[in-house]
Amino acid sequence: MALGQQAMQRRGACRHAAHRRAAVVVRASAVASAPQQPATASTYVPRVQGPIIMNGQVLHSLTQERLDVVRSLEDGYLQTQVVPLLKPVEKCWQPADFLPPSEDPDFLDKVHQLRERAKNLPDDYLVVFVGDMITEEALPTYMTMLNTLDGVRDETGASQTPWAKWTREWTAEENRHGDIMNKYMYLTGRVNMKSIEVTIQNLIGSGMDPKTENNPYLGFLYTSFQERATKISHGNTARHALEYGDPILAKICGSIASDEGRHEIAYQKIMDGLFERDPDGAMLAFADMMRKQIVMPAHLMNDGEHEPRTGRNLFQDFSAVAEKTGTYTAMDYADIIDHLVVRWDVANRSGLNGNAAEAQEYVMKLPNRIRKLAEKAAARKAKGKIVHASFSWVFNREVALA
């Protein structure tokens, strides 16, 4: 999706680098000075005497004191506040609920009806929908990311800790999203499935780089933001599908958005607990992830064709189409930060230490800063010429980017 970070990148690059250098020093000091306590079988944290840096990034930045805060959520809070937001399997929709039953004698007639409904979906809609679908299909990467977080990972693959059960059952709910989107697009005949499948395989192989440092404070801040972003995007693809005359596709996208809304609340409740128990640490995490800028999970997507053919980055072009169609925009990015500021009562938190108070001030000012940058970027685009790019997902047809 278009992230707002595109509007901020040029102006924020130098400032961001300075913040990261300072953050590395602070975290390295905190990790090195943290008391080394034995790790339990379910919450392994490596013993370190100084900063762990790989590929220029800090790893395992969670201090022992904050690991204990995370562990404290497991005693009742997670079970009562978070886990109930999962739905029993028997109450969940399944992809088959929306698709023509392949066993029906009139299956081909129903597929024909589906194709007739999909005829009016324009190419820019298809590009955005397919980009969202590819994002959902890279689910193995997201489960892996959650299992990199210290103190909450599934240590055995079938651990019965609340954290591990949440991750597996969240993944199970999310798995339906890519399934239904993929099958529906295949039946429409409107998109190049081979190209899409190559993009999915490349994306899963490439992984993602959210810069969460194996730190659940940062990881759950990221998911709190990201789930709301996907809810907005799927909600808008639902609205657009209805406008283009496909109510079934609209219902599919709306059902996915509803799931994302529940998951958003769950992750924000985890951060609620961290803010309640450690307001300084939670505030620092909020500002840290905002300074890094939230990257979408599919930022490493690659179809093997787009860049060699067009000289352009596939994810950035997909994001530009999402911005142009109003599916997900820089303004949405700013609105999500505003929502989280209100959700976690950032403006009214007092008694924070110096660094956390500075982080509080930074976060409070950020949405308006993003909006101003987005407005300037929009004004520049309005004065420029219309840019197009061809997408392999729609058989190399050209789609307007701006």
Which residue of the set 124, 132, 227, 323 is catalytic? 227
Q: Which of 167, 230, 237, 329 is catalytic?
A: 230
Annotated active-site residue 388? The verdict is no
Catalytic residue among 177, 234, 240, 306: 177
273 three-class SS: helix
Please indicate if the annotation marks 137 as binding a ligand. Answer: no
Residue 177 known to be catalytic: yes
End-to-end CA distance of the chain: give it in Å, rounded.
Answer: 14
DSSP category for residue 351: S
Known catalytic residue at 65? no
Whether 237 is a known active-site residue: answer no
User: Is 227 marked as a binding-site residue?
Assistant: yes
Respond yes or no: is residue 137 known to be catalytic.
no
Cα 352 to Cα 346: distance, rounded to the nearest angstrom = 11
Alpha helices in 97-214 (DSSP H): 107-118, 123-137, 139-146, 162-188, 193-206
Check if 263 is active-site: yes
Q: How far apart are CA 290 and CA 225, in angstroms?
A: 10
Find, among 376, 53, 20, the residue nearest to 214 by Cα.
53
Q: 185 near 249, Cβ under 8 Å? A: no
Instruction: For residue 260, say whether it is annotated as part of any ligand binding site.
Output: yes
Say how many residues make up the chain.
402
263 annotated among ligand-binding-site residues: yes
Within 10 angstroms of residue 376's Cβ, the number of other Cβ atoms is: 12
Active-site residue 264, yes or no?
no
Residues contacting residue 156 through CB under 8 Å, at least 6 positions apart = 164
- The partner residues of 400 in beta bridges, in order of sequence, read 388
Report the chain's C-alpha Rg in angstroms: 22
Q: How far apart are CA 71 and CA 156, in angstroms?
A: 18
Residue 173 annotated as binding?
no
Residue in 16, 19, 93, 155 annotated catalytic? 93
Burial of residue 86 (number of CB atoms within 10 Å: 0-12, 13-18, 19+): middle
Concatenated DSSP letters of 193-221: HHHHHHHHHHHHHH------TT-HHHHHH
Q: Give the active site residue among 123, 124, 132, 136.
A: 136
Q: How far apart are CA 146 and CA 293, in angstroms?
A: 19
Residue tagged active-site, from 263, 329, 332, 344? 263
* Annotation marks residue 375 as catalytic: no
The residue from 123, 132, 150, 260 that is catalytic is: 260
Active-site position among 123, 124, 154, 259: 259
Tell me the catalytic residues.
93, 136, 174, 177, 227, 230, 259-260, 263
Show binding-site residues for Fe cation: 136, 174, 177, 227, 260, 263
Show binding-site residues: 136, 174, 177, 227, 260, 263
